[in-house]
Structure 1
Amino acid sequence: MRKLVRNTTIATTAVLVATLAPAAAGGGHHHHHHQSRLSTVVDGLDGPRGVDALGRGKTLVTETDGSFSLVVERRHRDPRVTELGSVPGGFPPAIAAGRRGRIYLLTGASGEPGSPQAPGAATLYEWRHGYDAPKPVFDVAAYQVGDPDPDDLENLPADSNPFGLAALRDGSVLIADAAGNDLLRWWPDGTVKTVARLKPRVVDVPDGVPLPEEQVPSEGVATSVTVGPDGYWYVGELRGFPATPGTSQIWRIKPGSVDAVCDPEDPRHGRCTRYADGLTSIVDLGADHRSVYAVSLSKLSWLAVESEEPVPGAEIGALYRLIRGHHQVRVKELASDRLTLPAGVDVDRRGIYVTGPVFGPGALSKIR
């Protein structure tokens, strides 16, 4: 778990969080969706996370060992799973299909925060049919050394843990860096720009977390990015320590932005505005022609999952559908209380594809 949230911990995470209570998703009306049909597409996967629905029953999925595979659904037969290749493992990479058969994979950080990255970590890879192996095209960690986080709270402003990925139609790629608290954009010619920075937020300290203060600043931790139905870029937050439930936000960023600021103290102005609030431990986003979808790793927060003391129910995550209305965002939970440590989401005409649990044996599932 520490590899997922390696930049969010302060000192040790062996804290007593048994009294943490679930927080409902917010930012609008919240409804449970009891009619969702959840089915398994393929199981026997090892810690599946990255997912990209290509349409016509074809889906890309990644696993903990760094492998990525194509899953092809077949009528009245088991799906066909073809491994395409692999990148350095340890934590399943993000994945996104780009133009002209290109597939992009994004590896996260390795080791403890502030330590040198292992070869192949914190790197964007490109793969196409005919490649012997994915080739590294962008060293994210090296870029972040020259682009430190001005609002870092942990004395590691140049730390990097790239986590979320989205391929754009013009051939560029968006990268959400969970340690850099920012959104980057990479072009195939090697150009890189910082699209937006997520500023910290002051949060209440949950009951059971041994801090003397009642409120503390907490980093945004950008884990996820998608292109919304309106063409804007959406970024989801995990929320740093103390991982207060109900404090994860989704930001809406104007396409083409450079150095935008996502500020919880001024969330309605500028090129980055707040789309939704009141969520918990967001680890992935997806979108279709109408809605944005958000995956919550745990309704109790990632800290409850990471706790050395078992927290009942901490393994229950959630998938939310967010629909923008005239005055607010409507939030619906899909497959309520049926997702265990979900990790990734993507959508096509056949349904909503979800991966998880992100640790141990898992599956690619579909919600109709």
Structure 2
Amino acid sequence: MTTLRRSMRVLLIAVLVFAIGLPATANAQGEQTNASTIRVVATGLNAPRGVVYDQRRNRVLVAEAGVLAGDTGPCGFAERGLPFCLGLTGSVFEYSERSAQGRRIVTGLPSAGIQNGLSVVIGLHDLAITGDKLTAVFGLLGTKAYRDSLGPDAATMGQVVTINHAGKVVPRGDVTAFEDQYFPGHIESDPYGIQTGPYGTVVANAGGPDSRGNDLLLVRPNGAISELAQFPARQPAADPTDTIESVPTTVMQGPDGAFYVGELTGAPWYTGEARVYRVVPGQPATIYAQGFTNIIDLTFDPQGRLVVLQTSTNNPFDVTRDGALVRVERDGSHTTLASAGLRNPGGVAVAGPSSFYVTLGTATSGGTGELALVQLTS
């Protein structure tokens, strides 16, 4: 994300079960709501972000950014002079549907933390599976010079990587180095969401400011990087005298082959200002859906309908507030699938015709995150 920019976002796994019913009715804005239950299946997660469902193995994989590193590692100054210290606390968490148990299958991944009123962790942001291949992306919130100041253990931050069965991390595309060259003088890159395919890896880069870094990139299989689209700053409808950044956080390839990109938008995160863009390589990005607040992830359901995950309303760093899982209908209207109980969500993956896995507590500093199963009941 990159508004994990302005002061930024910022071991035992117990099974906890509870359910929250939502009425099938219309909310105050006239949007429809759908009845659903939320069941937490794993707790104790460390700043959980992106999530993928591996149907072939009946498992869920979660990107854990990590915990606050304190002064245990090298420190440096990220965007706007924010002081971050390196830790090796990132991980990949696996939840097995067969055993209903969870474990960390990869540990010791680089992360960086800050505590300045907000406890913020930057690290592993998203995962993707293609066959047996696990692709991942690390955030950074800075330039290559900042990354270098954190020492050699931080080398894969700001990069697209692959992770093998033994947990070995192999760099595949240096987003930060590309942004340094493509936008001389820029202040940060923060690759956040990814989508993989035979074309390589498409990256939603929550960089900035303005259009310099708030873009969609393609990392080809050979490591070459090119820009697919930019998402410039704009004036919000609620205050035309103000300017907000796009801050793209997520990308998903739709049934039509186009790429759909969701944005967080920059502070102060105006209600209803976030959009979903449709990107066809070689063409300008177009607005596909709008009227959201703080989009953190998106996916498509088995019927091909767009499903948008909004994190904490009005402040993505408020770990006490609920977000919302919203479906975009064929006519463009919105249906809220779940909200109450979706505490500060960070990632969503489709698990079936009426089931979604969602990570909770994405802006926590570690240890209080959760993985939940949302099931539609009407």
**TM-score, reference length from structure 2:** 0.74
1:364 lines up with 2:378 in the alignment = no
Q: Extract unaligned runs of 5+ from structure 1.
A: 14-23, 150-155, 207-213, 262-271, 307-312
1:106 lines up with 2:137 in the alignment = yes
Match of 1:184 in 2: 217
**1:118-157 maps to which residues of 2 (within 5 A)?**
118=150, 119=154, 120-129=156-165, 131-148=166-183, 157=186
Give 1:274 shift: 0.7
Percent identity between the two aligned chains: 28
Give 1:49 shift: 1.2
Match of 1:319 in 2: 325
Match of 1:198 in 2: 231
- 1:72–1:339 distance in 2 versus 1, CA, 3 Å: same
SS of the residue aligned with 1:217? coil
Aligned equivalents of 2:144, 2:168: Cα separation in 1: 29
Q: Deviations over 1:110-143 (max 9, x none)?
A: 46x79612423211111122x4521122211100
1:335 lines up with 2:338 in the alignment = yes
The structure 2 residue matched to 1:285, chosen from 298, 302, 308, is 298
Is the 1:248–1:279 Cα contact (8 Å) retained in structure 2?
yes
1:72 lines up with 2:96 in the alignment = yes
Aligned equivalents of 2:145, 2:340: Cα separation in 1: 37
- 1:314–1:42 distance in 2 versus 1, CA, 3 Å: closer
Aligned equivalents of 1:54, 1:233: Cα separation in 2: 21
Is the 1:186–1:192 Cα contact (8 Å) retained in structure 2?
yes
SS of the residue aligned with 2:65? coil
- 1:244–1:134 distance in 2 versus 1, CA, 3 Å: same
1:48 lines up with 2:77 in the alignment = no
Q: Extract unaligned runs of 5+ from structure 2.
A: 9-26, 67-89, 113-121, 208-212
Give 1:301 shift: 3.3
- Structure of greater relative contact order (alpha carbons < 8 Å, 6+ residues apart): 1
Pairwise CA RMSD: 2.7
- 1:286–1:67 distance in 2 versus 1, CA, 3 Å: same
Q: Deviations over 1:16-42 (max 9, x none)?
A: xxxxxxxx999xx72122x11211222
Q: Deviations over 1:296-353 (max 9, x none)?
A: 1112233xx46xxxxxx9622111112233xxx1211122222110000111327211
Q: Deviations over 1:87-118 (max 9, x none)?
A: 2123342333343411111111146x796124
Q: Deviations over 1:213-272 (max 9, x none)?
A: x62121111111111233221001111133211110000112xx14x44xxxxxxxxxx2
Give 1:281 shift: 0.9
Aligned equivalents of 2:278, 2:59: Cα separation in 1: 29
Aligned equivalents of 2:186, 2:33: Cα separation in 1: 40
Number of residue equivalences: 308
Is the 2:93–2:102 Cα contact (8 Å) retained in structure 1?
no
Give 1:145 shift: 1.2
- 1:217–1:4 distance in 2 versus 1, CA, 3 Å: closer
For 2:369, give the aligned amino acid: G
Aligned equivalents of 1:92, 1:250: Cα separation in 2: 24
The structure 2 residue matched to 1:242, chosen from 257, 265, 268, is 268
Aligned equivalents of 1:324, 1:232: Cα separation in 2: 17
**TM-score, reference length from structure 1:** 0.76
Match of 1:275 in 2: 288
SS of the residue aligned with 2:344? coil
Runs of 4+ in 1 over 6 A off after TM superposition: none
- 1:247–1:110 distance in 2 versus 1, CA, 3 Å: closer
1:95 lines up with 2:126 in the alignment = yes
- 1:171–1:96 distance in 2 versus 1, CA, 3 Å: farther
Give 1:4 shift: 5.2
Match of 1:264 in 2: none
